[in-house]
Structure 1
């Protein structure tokens, strides 16, 4: 047996052991192609990170990246001179300015469970932006607003530590998984808001101020 055939046979055997079933040659080939693709992606990402880290040694305070990237704080796409990379990750220069001004911390985006975004509040509590802005204006809800370069607001965040008695910790309101039955079989699995799972959802967060306002919240 040639080395190529031997390697293919060993790979097929390993995949069958992982799947706990026999695979056709076509299935084995498709699985191998997927594994090869993932391996190449991992190598590319690793090489990119090593290149960035090497350049960071020359520019320890950070530098602009070439091409388009997603800001790890606001999620917006930024490009070339509008990017900033340092040991805390990739950011747009607007969010980096907010870090420099201490509006948010350097490690902010690494602690996703420590804050809510506008979308989080809308989705998790079935609210709309108008109600949220009203609560901010009344001082009920404390927001961290990142100023936009041309005026206005670039992004808004709500830190749980700023709203300890008002916003519940995120582990209490995690999305649940729902299944849809079709023709007697479970075919669809999809996330649903936490409040659709519990019979008395407000009891789960009754210790927090938002629970009282959700009862009477109107657009």
Structure 2
């Protein structure tokens, strides 16, 4: 076992609190090597984009390169990507930026807004409840539409909903160990599994509105 593998073994044993097999060390090492190769390839591609941006300062169209949009996170197909000084996004989200539906700052700060998917993950938010809140004006939404005027995505900015949604940094999940067939695995758990949810979000409007909506649905 070389020095690099030995370092990996020590880290795994410290995290797990016990011995690890050579196979586990090798699997981790291979994964890290693959991850570093992907990272280097991405950096080389982005450096090429930055050089091209000097020729086309307003931005240019891309083939998507198998990457996801920096805003909606959906994969971009051939000719469906756009790159400028704000970063990479799909042409639908680019149009929303151009039309001032959403601010370009979203690309630099992913913690400044929630998507519907994130609201479901973080708060188990159901669409019918969210639609009710939007209709009643409890929350403000930015709607991104595609070329056929269909809803592409709905975003909920923290600055549009001050003191309603908590900062994402308060909702970090955790890791715990589960055992299956004699082997231990690290499993990711949501934030509310590791704290009292009301202590974390009790002062934000979402907690009050969620409780009120639940009472209305029950009655």
Q: TM-score w.r.t. structure 1 length?
A: 0.77
Q: Cα distance 1:99–1:15, how it changes in 2: closer, same or farther (>3 A)?
A: same
The number of equivalent residue pairs is 204
1:30-109 alignment, distance < 5 Å: 37=34, 40-66=37-63, 67-109=65-107
Q: Which residue of 2 aligns with 1:210?
A: 206
Q: Give the secondary structure class of the aligned counterpart of 1:167.
A: coil
Q: Give the secondary structure class of the aligned counterpart of 1:85.
A: strand
Deviation by residue 1:65-100 (Cα, 9 ceiling, x = unmatched): 135432111011222332111122111111001111
The alpha carbon displacement at 1:124 in A equals 1.2
Structure 1 unaligned spans of 5+: 1-11
CA RMSD of aligned residues (A): 3.2
Structure 2 unaligned spans of 5+: 11-22
Pick the structure with greater CA Rg.
1
Q: Is the 8 A contact 1:117 1:158 kept in 2?
A: yes
Q: Which residue of 2 aligns with 1:155?
A: 153
Deviates more, 1:39-48 or 1:139-148: 39-48
The alpha carbon displacement at 1:101 in A equals 1.6
Q: Is the 8 A contact 1:142 1:162 kept in 2?
A: yes
CA distance in 2, matches of 1:204, 1:97: 36
Q: Cα distance 1:133–1:33, how it changes in 2: closer, same or farther (>3 A)?
A: closer
Q: Cα distance 1:40–1:118, how it changes in 2: closer, same or farther (>3 A)?
A: closer
CA distance in 1, matches of 2:122, 2:3: 43
Q: Cα distance 1:122–1:217, how it changes in 2: closer, same or farther (>3 A)?
A: farther
Q: TM-score w.r.t. structure 2 length?
A: 0.77
Q: Is the 8 A contact 1:160 1:167 kept in 2?
A: yes
